[in-house]
Amino acid sequence: MVQAFISGVETLFIPAVFLSVAGGTVLGVVLGAMPGVSASIAVVLALPVAYAMDSVTAAAFLSAVYCASITGGGITAILFRVPGTPSSAPTTLDGYPMARKGEGGKALGFSVLSSMVGGLAASLAMILFCPLISEAAQMAGPSERFALFFLSIAVLVVMDNHNFIKALMSAVLGLLIACGGRDPVTGSSRLLWGDFLPDMGRELIPIMIGLFAVGGVLGQTGKERRGNRVWQTENGGKTRILFPSFKELWAVRFSMVRASVLGILVGILPGAGATSASFLSYAIEKRLSKHPERMGTGVPEGIVAAEAANNGATGGSMVPLLALGIPGGNAVAIIMAFLLARNVEAGPGLVGEHPEYLASVFGSMALTSVLMVLAAAVVARGFAKLLLVNYNAVGPLIVMVAAAGAYGLNQDMKDVALMIGFGIGGYFLVRMGYSLAAFVLGMVIGPMWEQNFYQAYMLAEGNSERIFTRPVTVLIMAVSILILLYPLVKLSVEREKS
Amino acid sequence: MDILFSIVLAAFCLWGFFLTGKDAFPSALGEPGDAFWPRALFVLLFLLVLVNLANDWLFQRKKREGAGQSPLLWRKTAAGFALIAGMALLMPYGGFAFVCLLFLTGYGYLLGERRILFLGVRSLVLTVLISWIFQGALGIELPLGRGPFLLISRFLGQLWPG
C-alpha cells in the first residue's frame, strides 16, 4: 500500500501525466457545468483525446474528467439552480438559497472545499482498499469470482428501485449482447451478431458512446424547452469564490467526514454511483441535523453533505473496478471499456501485475481534487457565459463529437452505425423503464463472468454441485439471493400493510 | 409498446436458444460447451419476460411510455432519429465536414434555433472547430467522402497545421 502511495505521488511528477490531469480537470469542470452533459457524457466526449495517450496516462486523464465533472455540476447548481450533473441536484437545495441571499461565493467555497475533501478521502480509500481487496480476490477461485459478479448484479438491480424485474432483464440483455463475438474458450463465433461484433472488448467503446451520448441527446430532444432561458443571479452569475474561514469549516467537520465516508461506501456498490450517494447523504444529514427545518433554506451543511458525498463516490466507484473488474458506475464502466479496448483487463490481476494503473488513478484523483479548487475559482467568473450556450448548439455538437470519436477508434463506419444503433436502442430502453446501468454492467462484466464460470465448471469436472458448495461461494450466493429477494419481501409487506 | 417489446424479446429468446444450439461446438466431458452460457441466459431472460408480462397484466401497472410526452415532442424525437440515422448513412459519401455542417444546422433547427443565418454561421464555426480538433490536433482521420466532397475534404485537410 505504501509502495502504491509513493508510486502514485511519483506519477504526478511525470509531465505528460500532470498535464493530462490538469487538462482533464479543466475539461471536466467545464463539461460538468453544462446542463444536459452528465459525468458519463463528459467521459465519452473526452475519449477521443484519450486515444492519443498511452493507457496509464489515459486512465489518469479520464479519471480526472470524471471527478472534475461532478464538481463542475455543483457550481451551476449553486449559482443557477441548474445541476450540471444529476449528482449535484441535492446541492441546489441549499446552494441556490445561499446564492439568493447574496452568499453565492461562500456557497461555492463550501462546495469546492467539500468536493476536495471528499475526493481526497476517496483517493486515500482507493489506495488503502484496492490492494487488500485485489489480494483477497486473487486468493479466490473462479467459483468465488463468479459469485462476486452475481453479487454485483444483485446489488445494482436492487439499487435501481424503479422496476426490479426490468432492471434484472436489462442486466441479462447486457450479458446476452456480451455473448456475441468469440467464445472465450473455444474461440468460435456465437450468435448472429458474432460476426458483426467480433471483439466485444473493442466494440464496447462505440456502444458506450451511443448509449450515453446519442441516447442522452435523444432524451433531451423530447423534452420541452422554453427558448433561451435567462439565467438570473444577483450579479449575473459572475461570482468570486469566497473560501470559508477555519471556524466555519470546523462547524461542518462532522457533516464533511460523514458525507465523505458515506460517498465512498455507496460508490463502492456497483451502479450506485455519485447520484445515489449525494441524495442519500443529504437525507441522512437532514435526519441527523439538530435543526432539520433549516435544511433547504441555505445552510452550508446541505452543500457539504451533497458535494463531499458525490466526490467521495467517484473514488469509491474506482475500488471495485481496479480490485475486482466490476465498475462502480456508468462513467467508470466507460473507463473500463476503454482499458479493455487497449487489452488492459481491470481486475485482481491488474493491481498486482500492473500497479502503475492504480498509482496513476490514485495520483490523478488526488491531484484533480486539489486542482479543481483552483480551476473552479478561475473559471467561476465565466460560468454565466458558459450557461448562455443553448442546448440547441450543445446537443448536436455532442452527437458529432461522439460520431467522430466512434469513427476515430478504427476508422470504420461500422462503429458509427453501432453507436447510432445502440444510442437509439438505449433511448427506447430508458423510455420503457429499463435500467441502462444494469444493461451496461451486464455487457461489461459478461465475458469475465462467463470465463470464470467456464473455469469453475472445468475445475469441478462438470459437477455443478461442486461449484456451488465452496464455503465462500455459498456465502456470497446466499447474500446475493437475499438481496434479490429484498424487493419482493418489501413489496409483500407493503401490500399487507395497505 | 412495453408489452410488444416483451413479446418480441420472448420470441428472440426462443429463436436464440435454438439457433445457439445449432451452431455451437458440442460439449465434451467436464466442460459446458460454448452454447451453455448463452442458452442459460436465453432461458433466464425468457422467464423474466414472462414474469414482466404477468406483472403488467395482473397488477395493471401504469406504463411509462408516452406518459408526459406530447405528440409534438414525440415527432421531434422521431425527427431526431431520422437526422442521426441520415447523418450516418450520408457520411461515407459526403465526408465528415459536409455532413457535420448539415447535421449541426438541421438538429439545431429541430431543437428550436430559428435564426437561420446565425445557425448557419455557428454550424460552420463548430464544423471547422471539430474537424480541426480531430484531424489537426488529435491526428484522427475522419471520413473524406467521395467525388466532389473528397476534393473539398482534401482541400480542408491541407489547412490544418501538422
* pLDDT at residue A291 greater than cutoff 60: yes
CA-only gyration radius of chain B, Å: 24
* pLDDT at residue A383 greater than cutoff 70: no
- 8 Å CB contact of A420 and B84: yes
Interface predicted TM-score of the whole assembly (ipTM), two decimals = 0.88
- Amino acid at site A24: G
- Amino acid at site B30: G
Given this model, what pLDDT does residue A399 score?
93
> CA of A185: which chain B residue's CA is closest?
B34
Torsion angle of alpha carbons A256, A261, A262, A264, nearest 10°? 120
| B150–chain A Cβ distance below 8 A for any pair | no
* Best B19, B22, B37 residue to mutate vs chain A (most A CBs within 10 Å): B37
Residue A413: list chain B partners with CB under 8 A.
Answer: 88, 91-92, 143
| B90–chain A Cβ distance below 8 A for any pair | no
Closest CA to A360 of A38, A72, A14, A80: A14
Residue B44: list chain A partners with CB under 8 A.
Answer: 172
- Pull the grid cell for residue A259: 458525507
- 8 Å CB contact of A191 and B69: no
* Burial of residue B92, with CB atoms counted within 10 A of its CB: 0-12 exposed, 13-18 middle, 19 or more buried: middle
Residue A227: list chain B partners with CB under 8 A.
Answer: 112
Rounded to whole angstroms, the Cα distance separating A6 from B47 reads: 51
Given this model, what pLDDT does residue A228 score?
42
| B129–chain A Cβ distance below 8 A for any pair | no
* pLDDT at residue A176 greater than cutoff 50: yes
- 8 Å CB contact of B104 and A396: yes
Closest CA to A78 of A64, A54, A94, A60: A94
Given this model, what pLDDT does residue B66 score?
47
Is A317 strand, coil or helix? helix
Q: What is the mean pLDDT of chain A?
A: 83
Residues 191 through 210 of chain A touching chain B, CB cutoff 8 Å: 191-192
| B56–chain A Cβ distance below 8 A for any pair | no
Asked which of A19-33, A100-114, A116-130, A155-169 is least confident by mean pLDDT, the reply is: A155-169
* Best B107, B115, B121, B146 residue to mutate vs chain A (most A CBs within 10 Å): B107
Contact A42, A274 (CB under 8 A): no
Residues 6+ apart with CB under 8 A from A90: A278, A279, A281, A282, A302, A305, A306
Contact A71, A311 (CB under 8 A): yes
Q: What is the mean pLDDT of residues A348-374?
A: 84
- 8 Å CB contact of A403 and B91: yes
Of the two residues A189 and B65, the one the predictor is more confident about is A189
* pLDDT at residue A200 greater than cutoff 70: no
Q: What is the mean pLDDT of residues A207-219?
A: 90
Percent of all residues in chain A with a pLDDT value above 70, rounded to a whole number: 88
Rounded to whole angstroms, the Cα distance separating A68 from A66 reads: 6
Is B139 strand, coil or helix? coil
- 8 Å CB contact of A462 and B20: no
Given this model, what pLDDT does residue A195 score?
60
What global pTM score does this model have?
0.84
| B7–chain A Cβ distance below 8 A for any pair | no
Categorise residue A411: left if φ over 0, alpha if ψ from -120 to 50, beta otherwise: left
Of the two residues A313 and A75, the one the predictor is more confident about is A313
Distances, alpha carbon A179 to alpha carbons A409, A437, A451, A473, B10, in Å: 22, 18, 11, 24, 18
Residue B73: which pLDDT band, with cuts at 50, 70 and 90?
confident
* Best A173, A176, A224 residue to mutate vs chain B (most B CBs within 10 Å): A176
- 8 Å CB contact of A399 and B49: no
Residue A231: which pLDDT band, with cuts at 50, 70 and 90?
very low
Given this model, what pLDDT does residue A230 score?
41
